Structure 1
Amino acid sequence: MKKISLATILFAIAVLVNLLLYIFQPLGNYFYLVSDAAAIVFSFIAFSFGAASLKLHGFRNIKGRPMFFLIAGIFCWFLGEVAWGFYEIFLKVEVPLFSIADFFWLIGYPLFIVGIYFVWSSTRRKIGVKKLASTIMLSAIILIVFYYLSVPTISTPDLSLTEKVSTAGYIICDSVLLVAMIITLFHISGKELFKLWAALLIALVFMSLADVLFAHIFSNYVSNRTIDAVWNLGYLLIAFGFFMYAKNYRVALERAFKIQDKFD
């Protein structure tokens, strides 16, 4: 319990630091250096905690296989942050639309979907009518809302196809991913996996919000806007979710071994 409490405090401190960075914006006109570095660091933290959790199972384990694809998706997002920072810092491209960064970010989505499928197929169970209705209702609301949020960007003739993919494309991918995660969340029975999935879902909600804001202001976007802090918060939530999962899983293993020792 002490480690969990310490982790919660460290998570709160990281969230506070993230917010303060974008409020005070150190280095002034060169704050984009801090902003790009923060996104790289926070995404790497999310990947690192995910990789540490994967070690508990291995790839061949029924829980390790879906986790591998989820972490691979996060790693691609980390590479996307690195590529974006490279374009801005070294190539002096302020908003590198449809660059190699977009390639890495977009590749992360199908990897997430594969991981979600493995989670759903390994933990699915029959659910009641109320849960089924709630799942359908939430999924429908998300699809409708995100459809209308992406329409202005998709339908405008002022944007090229690559610009539309680099903006509204993420909104569409986010909606599909959110629906898939909600469906899986309603079918999960294990508490450890449920908490991890809930953290991932909340993280994706924040990151989807940031994607929506970016799609609507990208022509005036710079890397010192508050929406960058929202993306970073998503990475921190992912890291915290994986940490809590690993901690709870270890506790469950210890209890299982104690019970086995009593019978031996």
Structure 2
Amino acid sequence: MGGVLLSMVALLMIRGGVGGEEAAALISNAPSLLIVGAAAAVIIWASLQFPASEPLRKQWLFLGIGTALWSVGGGVWNVYEVVLKQEVPFPGIADVVFLAAIPMLTAGCLLAVGSFNRVLRMMLPVAISLLAGVAAAAFVVLVPLRASLADASYPLFERLVGAAYPVADLVLVLPFALALAFTAARLGGGKIARPWWLVVAGLLAIVYADTMFAVLIAEGTYTAGMYIDAGWWVGFSLIAAGASLAVDVQRPRGA
């Protein structure tokens, strides 16, 4: 949970104006590379503690790859904003990497839910979760993002990429995060469920941060160091904590 504490410290430093604008830019970007990068290393390490034949290995590995991609995207963002002191191209390489992380996170959740499907009969919860995600995406597109999507002063591709973040999160990540929550609830309060509750909390924090980022960008009110930034840092840190806990409570066979 060290990543959560570091996230809070970084956010407080930015909000407190420590070191001026240049320091704020560095502090606001560094966690995307350092905290999320460390989280990716922990998750991938945890996945490799399970035998290749163990379903948990693939589940955590996909979550780790998604986290690693997000960290790489943060690294690209850092190069432009901190090293080169240039405006980050949008759409650009960072967006390609960030968006590539979303299906990886989804795959990890899907495999986790699927591994319990035979025992817990998860088809109805998954269907309900998918409907909830589509409804949430439709609301975001039709209400807060409607004006920006209709603004012809920006290229169509740029507008679509901007909307892709919340839509992909709400249609892909959110439904399976909710389905994973249903799964954890059906598993009860035992040790097996605990890592997945941390994953659910982390994914919800990431979805919230992505969605609010898109809304604030559309409104022209987003600035680095806003509280939503911590959603990404805390979210991936919680997933890493879940991975570490899984190694302890879900001992691999033959370990």
| Aligned residue runs from structure 1 range 89-128, under 5 A | 89-125=82-118, 127=120
- What is the CA-CA distance between 1:50 and the residue it aligns to? 0.2
Amino acid at match of 1:249: Q
Contact 1:81 1:101 in 2 (8 A): yes
The structure with more radius of gyration: 1
Counterpart check, 1:27 vs 2:19 = yes
2:212 is matched with 213
TM-score by length of 2: 0.81
Q: Do residues 142 (structure 1) and 133 (structure 2) align?
A: yes
CA 1:193–1:181 in 2, change beyond 3 Å: closer, same or farther? farther
**Aligned mates of 2:227, 2:209 — CA distance in 1:** 9
| 2:158 corresponds to | 163
Deviations 1:7-60 (A, max 9, x none): 5xx466335324422321322111101111122111012102202211211444
Which position in structure 2 is the counterpart of 1:69?
A: 62
Deviation of residue 132 (structure 1)? Answer: 6.8
Query: What amino acid sits opposite 2:236 in the alignment?
Result: Y
Q: Any conservation in 2 of the 1:146–1:172 contact (CA below 8 Å)?
A: yes
Q: Cα 1:137–1:15, aligned 2, differ >3 Å: closer, same or farther?
A: same
Aligned pair partner of 1:49 in 32, 37, 42:
42
Alpha-carbon distance in 2 for matches of 1:230, 1:207:
6
Q: Matches of 2:65 and 2:238 in 1, distance apart?
A: 17
Give 1 or 2: higher helix fraction. 1
Check the 8 A contact 2:209/2:229 in 1, yes or no.
yes
Gaps of 5+ in 2: none
Identify unmatched segments of 5+ residues in structure 1: 1-6, 258-264
Q: Which amino acid aligns with 2:131?
A: A
Per-residue deviation, residues 149-172 of structure 1 (Å, max 9, x unmatched): 123243443432332233210111
Name the CA distance, whole Å, in 1 between partners of 2:100 and 2:5. Answer: 31
Q: Give 1:141's aligned amino acid.
A: A
Residue 196 of structure 1 corresponds to 195
* Aligned CA distance change for structure 1 residues 181 and 227 (closer, same or farther; 3 Å): closer
Amino acid at match of 1:210: A
Size of the alignment, in residue pairs? 244
The amino acid that maps onto 1:144 is A
1:178 corresponding residue in structure 2: 174
Provide the alpha-carbon RMSD of the alignment: 2.8
Aligned partners of 2:139 and 2:25: how far apart in 1? Answer: 31
Contact kept, 8 Å, 2:106 with 2:173, in 1: the verdict is yes
Q: 1:62 to 1:235 in 2, by over 3 A?
A: closer
Question: Hey, what does 1:262 align to over in structure 2?
Answer: none
Residues 138 and 107 of structure 1: is their aligned pair in 2 closer, same or farther, counting only changes over 3 Å?
A: closer
Counterpart AA for 2:205: F
Q: For 2:126 and 2:7, locate their aligned partners in 1 and report how far apart those are by CA, in whole Å.
A: 30
Q: Does 1:82 align with 2:85?
A: no
Following the alignment from structure 1 to structure 2, what is the Cα–Cα distance between the partners of residues 108 and 243? 20
* 1:76 Cα offset (Å): 0.7
